[in-house]
Structure 1
Amino acid sequence: MYNHDYGQTDIYVVDANNGIIKRITETKYNESHPVWANTKKALLYTADHNGVWNLFLHPLEAVGSLNDNIQYPITNVLTGLQQPTISRDDNSLIFAGYSGIGWDLYSLNQPLTLKKKVVAPTQFHMNDELDLEDIVDLRRHKSNNRLFQNESISYSNWVFARGYENFNAPLKDSKGDFEIISMDSTNIDGRYIPKSYKTRFTLDLVSGNLQLSNVFGATGMTYFSFSDILGDHQIAFGTEMVLTLENSDYFFQYGYLKNRLDYYFTGFQNANFFQVDYWS
């Protein structure tokens, strides 16, 4: 059983009285969803012969071995079909077929009288046995030696599925001519390239307000807030530019947030025209 292909399925019949198992099909392709015919001794099932799931008719009255290919396809669809269900009088069969972007239900009249169909092999089926690892990739950034089959590596810094760079690369054991080529922020083997962090600020917030006063007319204030990528620094300021800079309200604030304890430094000016004292 160690070399049995569990990915390939066949049709079997189990006698409920004595538990004897009888094999119905023995093919290289898969069979699934068998249903009994009611008026004839026959089975209908789906099979992926030549790469597409189609409906097969298997007469059980025929005499012969399992390899005589007495079963034959009675449909030839392009997108496959599944889950056939036959009526009690065998005059109608319902199955699920893929069309457009989903599965729909279809009916088939007199399925037991349909003639054999010719199902041409798909391109996928014809190329199924090709060894894709032998395809040569001449692009320089796809090194043939960037992965090692027996190498024990840590995946803590691994970049998974980054553009499928390593999809077509064969695996080799030799490390002799391993070449590291920088691609963006990673090596071609999927590991990140360590780099020193450089503070770079980005704009987080822009806001403002507008006021109408019977004394000063239209006034307004605009707010801006910036922070770096890691959130270590924060800069915010607001200014009122309707009046002169000397008679306007404005503030500037800087936050140092790198450690657990945050530090904020704020400078501001509030212009007050109704109070003349030490604070004005």
Structure 2
Amino acid sequence: PEFGLRSRPEDIAERITDHEEDGSYFNVMPSFSPDGQYVAFISNRKDYIDLYLIDIITRDIKQIAKAERTFSAQSFHPFRSRAGWSSDGKFLIYSRKAGGSDEIAVHNVRRGKVERTFAFEGIREISSPVFLPGDTALVFSGLSGDGSDIYYYHFGQPEPVKITDDLFDDRFPTISPDGRYIAFSSDRRVDGQSSADDLDDASGQMASPEIEDFEFGDYNIWLYDFEADTFSPLTIDGEGNDNPIFSPEGGRIAYTSQRNGVSNIWLAGLDGEVVHRPYTGTLCGAFAPTWDPDGRKLVFSAFYDGGFDIYYMKELSALDSLVPTPYMLHRDTLCPEEIIDTDLPRGRITGDLRRSRIDVPAEDEEERDLYEPKNYRPEFSIDLIAGALAYDTYYGFRGMTHLMFSDMLGNHQIYVATDLLEDLDNSTIFATYAYYGRRVNFAAMGYHYKNYFFRSWNEYFSDRVFGGMASIEYPFSQYERLQLNVDGFVVDRDYYAVPAGSGLGDIAPFNLRMELSAVKDNTLWKSTGPLRGTRSKIALEYVPKMGENSLNYVGGRFAFRKYYHFGRGYGFAMRLAAGGVSGDNSPVFWLGGSENWLNWQSIRRDYFDIDRFYFSNFVLPMRGYPYFAFEGKY
């Protein structure tokens, strides 16, 4: 029945992107250029979330900025921020994550490069920057401390100025054509809060609000008057009102609202009485409207058939009303409001909205004092329990169990994998503790395992390996990190049957291996592995002399991999690798073969010496060659 009550996006507008055809999942946050020729939007049509321009006439799509690959552009915040245009259409401004905080990039559309960037100390996240008329200043939403506020920044000033300064979430600012007003979305409290049922369908006006209905997260559209330095609410129902944008002449505001339970586009006329009318009644939601410069058409993003696309609405026709979803019809019945004693004093916001506070009644203050703040203490819960059990006629029953624990914040993680095979001496145990509470990540692991080897029918021995490893990681960004691993272990070899002259050598009982590596990885993974991006690693390895027969060498390795994605699920990978070792009794590099080779082939069987087996580098895969086809120290 929902299909009959609501419309598909393509029933009311022309789809100008196709997520099914290009393989994307979302095309969002459209922004019309001042000349009406281009629409900027954010999309993952090439797997990464990038910024694009689409020619509204020819439908040609051009990528203009990349993200999710480098330190300087880690994210465009696709569902919280949209790009803004300069008045002449030459520049596009957008926010991007650069390092640990955001910056504003001023992109020259014609030259195809970023000409200026702005970052402000203390503001960690920036979203939806927009030019003021004249392009000498801009307004944006910024997250500083624990509050998201609206900021004004005039070019040449050292720091931006806060327009709002409170505990509420203020987002999606937009500027009126004359530069006098800022419209934005906020969950700040109005002088009461009405409901969607209080919107009169005939008049399009909202009834008087009820103060008791206020909750954080109930978003309304607000107007800030630069000249009068005042705030006023455009909506008061708190039904997810978002993404406001002024019409080119300034007499209307388009915004999205969830008054009927689905995000749809509404228009509010600002001349005289404020009248609200719906202009879409979609099945799955319409978002982020943007005006054509002629003021008679809209472009928006909508969700349908498992993805977001950009739609062009060429005819604006107001609807009489929207049919509420079953949830909206029954939510008051399913979740009745708590009965409140209206004689009690009510908390409300007083003073300047830019530094608003909430007066708490004395009764509530006394009750709140009963709860004393305490420092956080980790309490662990089980995240994973997995196991496997097997039986064969030679070994009998075998199995392995995996357990993972973590605390609520994810700062601490414990992983244990173990099996039991006959006795503890033959069992496998891995136990890892990792700490992620700071920028520097630390992990420690202890392990024990035993393997049996057959070199021929009369050469039979086992290796019991046990030790510990410590690892420290320092991330420079989401994609680059420096890592130090220190591994100390013992190999206890037990010979059951070894003929004379077999050449199975031993080394010192305790061995120490240290590796310092620099890693860059911006690959995107699919179900079978990396499908797009690059991975590179430079590693230096050092093994100190620990005894008379101990190895003592220095080595280095370099690996580079490039992944190309074409078609649906098809890819091509390219690899470049190099390495070398130098020192007394140093190991080698072995090339040839591939992992998990069923009908494997090998040209040699003298690789069971401890120094060769546990310290040499197996360079795999190298298809078309047997194992150990090539050997060398470089």
CA distance in 2, matches of 1:161, 1:50: 40
1:162-195 deviation digits (Å, cap 9, x = unpaired): 79xxxxxxxxxxxxxxxxxxxx999xxx9xxxxx
Indicate if the aligned counterparts of 2:251 and 2:269 stay in contact, CA closer than 8 A. yes
Change (3 A) 1:123 1:22: closer
1:256–1:86 distance in 2 versus 1, CA, 3 Å: closer
CA RMSD of aligned residues (A): 3.9
User: SS in structure 2 opposite 1:51?
Assistant: coil
- Say whether residues 1:41 and 2:251 are aligned partners: yes
The within-5 A match list for 1:197-216 is 199-200=420-421
Q: What residue in structure 2 maps to residue 179 of structure 1? A: none
Find the aligned partners of 1:115 and 1:198 in 2 and give their Cα distance: 66
State the secondary structure of the residue aligned to 2:319: coil
The 1-side partners of 2:455 and 2:328 are apart by 64
Alignment partner, residue 266 of structure 2: 56
Q: Are the counterparts in 1 of residues 280 and 319 from structure 2 also a CA contact under 8 Å?
A: no
Match for residue 154 of structure 2?
none
State yes or no: 1:5 paired with 2:215.
yes
Identity level (%): 16
Q: How far did residue 76 of structure 1 move?
A: 0.7
Give yes or no for contact 2:419–2:427 (8 Å, CA) kept in 1. Answer: no
CA contact (8 A) 2:255 2:267 kept: yes
CA–CA distance in structure 2, aligned partners of residues 130 and 185 of structure 1: 41
In 1, Cα distance between equivalents of 2:323 and 2:281: 6
Letter in 2 for 1:257: V
> Helix, strand or coil: the match of 1:262?
strand
Determine the C-alpha separation between the residues in 1 that align with 2:277 and 2:421: 69
Q: Give the distance between the partners of 1:238 and 1:124, measured in 2 at CA.
A: 72
Q: Give the equivalent residue in structure 1 for 2:498.
A: 268
More off after superposition, 90-99 vs 253-262: 253-262
Displacement after TM superposition at 1:268 (Å): 2.2
C-alpha displacement at 1:83, in angstroms? 1.2
Q: CA deviation at 1:27?
A: 0.4
CA distance in 2: counterparts of 1:128 and 1:270, whole angstroms: 87
Counterpart Cα distance in 2 of 1:233 and 1:161 = 25
Aligned residue number for residue 283 of structure 2? 78
Where in structure 2 are the equivalents of 1:227-238 lying within 5 Å?
228-230=427-429, 231-238=448-455
Instruction: Return 5+ residue gaps in structure 2 as ranges.
Output: 1-165, 168-188, 190-213, 336-375, 387-400, 408-417, 430-447, 468-488, 503-634
The alpha-carbon distance between structure 1 residues 97 and 21, as it changes in their structure 2 partners (threshold 3 A), is same
Q: Deviations over 1:176-229 (max 9, x none)?
A: xxxxxxxx999xxx9xxxxxx76328xxxxxxxxxxxxxxxxxxxxxxxxx743
Quote the offset at 1:153 in angstroms. 8.2
Correspondence for 1:239: 456
Could you tell me which residue of structure 2 aligns to residue 246 of structure 1?
none
TM-score by length of 1: 0.53
C-alpha separation between the residues in 1 aligned to 2:247 and 2:384? 48
- Offset at 1:80? 1.0
Rounded Cα–Cα distance in structure 1 between residues aligned with 2:328 and 2:264: 16
Q: Which residue of 1 aligns with 2:302?
A: 97
The amino acid across from 2:220 in the alignment is: D
CA contact (8 A) 1:85 1:93 kept: yes
1:90 touches 1:110 (CA, 8 Å); kept in 2?
A: no
Instruction: Quickly say closer, same or farther: Cα 1:38–1:199, change in 2 above 3 A.
Output: closer
Q: What is the TM-score normalised by the length of structure 2?
A: 0.25
Alignment partner of 1:257 is 2:487: no
* Match among 219, 229, 241 for residue 31 of structure 1: 241
Q: Over alpha carbons, which structure has the higher Rg?
A: 1
* Shift in CA distance, 99/78, structure 1 to aligned 2, threshold 3 Å: same
**Take 1:262 and 1:270, find their aligned partners in 2: how far apart are those partners?**
22
CA contact 2:257–2:266 (8 Å) conserved in 1? yes
Q: Which has the higher strand share?
A: 2
Partner of 2:315: 110
Q: What residue ranges of structure 1 are gaps of 5+ in the alignment?
A: 65-69, 132-151, 164-183, 191-196, 202-226, 241-249, 273-280
Cα deviation per residue 1:49-68 (whole Å; 9 max; x = unaligned)?
A: 1221101122223537xxxx
1:160 to 375, 378, 383: 383
Distance 1:52 1:89 in 2: 28
| Kept in 2: contact 1:236–1:253 (CA 8 A) | yes
Alignment match of 1:120 (pick from 324, 337, 343): 324
1:110 & 1:28 partners in 2: Cα distance?
28
Distance in 1 separating the partners of 2:224 and 2:383: 46
- Residue 103 of structure 1 and its aligned partner are, at CA, apart by 1.7
